[in-house]
Amino acid sequence: MRKLLLLSSGIAVATATMALANDDLISQMADPGQWAIQTGDYKNQRYSTLDQINADNVDDLQVAWTFSTGVLRGHEGSPLVIDDIMYVHTPFPNIVYALDLNDDGRIIWKYEPRQDPDVIPVMCCDTVNRGVAYADGKIFLHQADTKVVALNAKTGAVEWEVVNGDPSVGETNTATVLPVKDKVIVGISGGEFGVRGSVTAYHIADGTLAWRAYSMGPDSDILIDPENTTHLGEPVGENSGTNTWEGDQWMIGGGTTWGWYSADLEENLMYYGTGNPSTWNPGQRPGDNRWSMTIMARDIDTGVAKWFYQMTPHDEWDYDGINEMILTEQEVDGQSRKLLSHFDRNGLGYTLDRVTGELLVAEKYDPAVNWTTGVEMDPSNENYGRPYVVSEYSTEQNGEDVNSTGICPAALGSKDQQPAAYSPKTELMYIPTNHVCMDYEPFRVSYTAGQPYVGATLAMYPAPDSHGGMGNFIAWDNIEGEIKWSIPEQFSVWSGALATAGDVVFYGTLEGYLKAIHAETGEELYRFKTPSGIIGNVMTYTHDGKQYIGILSGIGGWAGIGLAAGLTNPNDGLGAVGGYAALSDYTALGGQLTVFKLPD
């Protein structure tokens, strides 16, 4: 491994000039009039310095124009805007449209991949896709069938394509990709099918493989240096990705990587989280199951890990750790530090030093969370960094085929993949959350490639003794680890937030409302009901000197899987169908982009 590190370092130096191939993307991200990456910027802050639309006039917003995608089911992610062209994506079959903003949204080109529909049953929780990416004159699409395609941004012509996985064994894709330096970094979905998670870097120029890092397995597979890759400041040691698994279970161990990615170019590190271990029945996989449920920091050039932090060792609840990592520079105890904040499915909001991996904050961001009393924060304690599990809400203690009830949060977490936003003006994080609990009954399951490998039956319902709804939109102080204010919602907030310099924060609701609230107080300033439930992410851009707000609506995703797939059995959708049955009283399927502006 040390020889590998020396060789990789030499390669990184030799290719330093080539690695700056993304100057175009960096300049586009720096221009607030563009929306050049799904997360707003490499820091995943989802913050815009535009302030033409602000707290004083946002209630004057009106619909500027709309666009039908021609596809139903769940519309996650958002459009991109690059140089007066808007790029719009859809769920399966993953159509991409290029729209001319100078010509009433005329379709410049349309790319429609020919995918085998057999991939649809292998997709866990709807046929969603979280959007395309841009770099070096190319639009990157990671299809449901795992094919990564680079399209000419002007013409839509295919410049290269590469297959990243195998749907026949359960490998699919729902995520966007991260173009950074001379690479495009992609993940994999399929934890419910016994897939072994990985991230893979391809060269932007031609799609050739640069590196691949697995979530678990031998050191050479997960790209670590046992003495220099750390966990909470200590070397992980040899065989860390196999020695907390029984036998060779790590080979079907989950830890998939279908979330969001961020990057710090100064540190040359990229950050992401890994998902649940397979199976959902914890009794079948004793041990901490490293490195599932883990925040990972990796060298962009080589993929070699600098540090890990495992949030939920031996996960018993399907609390995937894939949610976004938001990067900030803030003062902690009088010292400016580079921070990483993460709102995990397990209901805990974490703040870490993103250079060293030091754990600074781990607090509940939903008061209903009951599976843990909290995380041990004393570095001298042998349990440092581990959550203390409340035995009543363990799904393993009573054995298989025993129902554990009243667990909060449910498997879809206090927040799923729907990304939060951060405002440097208020220094607050704005988090779309789920306020949902569950009953969880594990059962023994056998692994068969390409078949579901779940091993649990779930039921979901609103958190008891609360406001009666299934969601909140909250403002969070990531330094103090506390909620500043909270807006109750009838259903989970499954839309990505947007914060702006105009002191406005936007988000969407499952009933279909786009809402604007005051960034300081949470006061609602505006709402508009779009044609279908919103699970997309709010974005903003300018054209001809005017600011616009855009949002995709189209009910689906895990929360809306009952509507999206026509399911009625309450236990279907891994328990979500019953929990969100009332959604059908408020919305129906759709697939539409709605764009807003102030009156002329």
CA angle 352/331/48 to nearest 5° reads 85
SS3 176: coil
- Residues written for the chain: 600
The enclosing H or E element of 425 equals none
β-pair partners for 178: 185
Q: Is 51 a catalytic residue?
A: no
Q: Which of 346, 232, 344, 360 is nearest to 297 (CA)?
A: 232
- pLDDT reported for residue 233: 96
Backbone angles phi, psi at 218, to 5 degrees: -60, 160
569 inside domain = yes
Q: Indicate the number of domains in the chain.
A: 1
β-pair partners for 455: none
Biggest CA pair distance of the chain: 67
Task: Determine the Cα–Cα distance for residues 516 and 534; give it in Å rounded to an integer.
Answer: 14
Whether residue 442 is preceded by a cis peptide bond, meaning omega within 30 degrees of 0, is no
Kindly state the tokens that stand for 88. Answer: 């719009």
Query: Cβ-count burial of 600 within 10 angstroms (0-12 exposed, 13-18 middle, 19+ buried)?
Result: exposed
Per-residue pLDDT of the chain (600 residues; tens, 9 = 90+): 333 333 343 334 334 434 454 889 999 999 999 999 999 999 999 999 999 999 999 999 999 999 999 999 999 999 999 999 999 999 999 999 999 999 999 999 999 999 999 999 999 889 999 999 999 999 999 999 999 999 999 999 999 999 999 999 999 999 999 999 999 999 999 999 999 999 999 999 999 999 999 999 999 999 999 999 999 999 999 999 999 999 999 999 999 999 999 999 999 999 999 999 999 999 999 999 999 999 999 999 999 999 999 999 999 999 999 999 999 999 999 999 999 999 999 999 999 999 999 999 999 999 999 999 999 999 999 999 999 999 999 998 766 778 999 999 999 999 999 999 999 999 999 999 999 999 999 999 999 999 999 999 999 999 998 898 999 999 999 999 999 999 999 999 999 999 999 999 999 999 999 999 999 999 999 999 999 999 999 999 999 999 999 999 999 999 999 999 999 999 889 899 999 999 999 999 999 999 999 999
54 inside domain = no
Backbone angles phi, psi at 441, to 5 degrees: -125, 105
**Position 505, amino acid:** V
Which DSSP category does 422 fall into?
Answer: E
CA angle 427/428/431 to nearest 5° reads 155
Task: Determine the Cα–Cα distance for residues 198 and 258; give it in Å rounded to an integer.
Answer: 9
> For residue range 326-355, what is the model confidence (pLDDT) as tens digits?
999 999 999 999 999 999 999 999 999 999
Q: Which of 87, 106, 76 is nearest to 532 (CA)?
A: 76
Which DSSP category does 575 fall into?
Answer: G
Which residues lie below 8 Å from residue 246, measured CB to CB, with a gap of 6+? Answer: 285, 286, 287
β-pair partners for 335: 332
Integer Rg of the chain from CA: 22
Name the one residue in this structure whose structure tokens are 């990456």. Answer: 37
Q: What is the DSSP string of 221-242?
A: HHT--TTTSEETTEE--TTTTT
Task: Determine the Cα–Cα distance for residues 371 and 380; give it in Å rounded to an integer.
Answer: 24
57 inside domain = no
399 inside domain = yes
> For residue range 455-466, what is the model confidence (pLDDT) as tens digits?
999 999 999 988
Inter-CA distances, 88 with 66, 105, 109, 191, Å: 12, 11, 11, 28
Kindly state the tokens that stand for 487. Answer: 């807006």
Question: From start to end of 38-167, where are the E strands?
Answer: 47-48, 62-68, 80-82, 85-89, 96-100, 106-111, 133-135, 138-142, 147-152, 158-163
518 inside domain = yes
Instruction: Evaluate whether 50 touches 501 at the Cβ level (below 8 Å).
Output: yes
Task: Determine the Cα–Cα distance for residues 23 and 267; give it in Å rounded to an integer.
Answer: 17
Q: Say how many C-beta atoms besides its own lie within 10 A of residue 65's C-beta.
A: 15
B/e letters for 552-563, b = 16+ CB within 10 Å, e = fewer, are bbbbbbbbbbbb
Q: In what order do the strands lie in the sheet with 85-89?
A: 80-82, 85-89, 96-100, 106-111
Task: Determine the Cα–Cα distance for residues 284 and 325; give it in Å rounded to an integer.
Answer: 30
We report the CATH number of the domain holding residue 498 as: 2.140.10.10
Instruction: Evaluate whether 343 touches 415 at the Cβ level (below 8 Å).
Output: yes
Q: Say how many C-beta atoms besides its own lie within 10 A of residue 548's C-beta.
A: 24
Name the one residue in this structure whose structure tokens are 């031609």. Answer: 206
Task: Determine the Cα–Cα distance for residues 352 and 228; give it in Å rounded to an integer.
Answer: 18
Q: Alpha helices of 177-335 — where are they, by DSSP H?
A: 219-222
β-pair partners for 518: 504
Active-site residue, from 299, 301, 318, 503: 318
306 inside domain = yes
The domain containing residue 529 runs over which residues? 2-48+63-103+110-597
Backbone angles phi, psi at 573, to 5 degrees: 65, 30
252 inside domain = yes
* β-pair type (80-82, 85-89): antiparallel
Instruction: Tell me the whole-structure pTM to 2 decimals.
Output: 0.95
55 inside domain = no
- pLDDT reported for residue 552: 98
- pLDDT reported for residue 287: 97
Say how many CA atoms lie within 13 Å of 65 toward its Cβ. 10
Q: Which of 352, 247, 342 is nearest to 293 (CA)?
A: 342
CA angle 254/248/243 to nearest 5° reads 90
Q: What is the DSSP string of 450-487?
A: TS----EEEEEEEPSSSSSSSEEEEEEETTTTEEEEEE
- pLDDT reported for residue 401: 76
Task: Determine the Cα–Cα distance for residues 173 and 574; give it in Å rounded to an integer.
Answer: 19
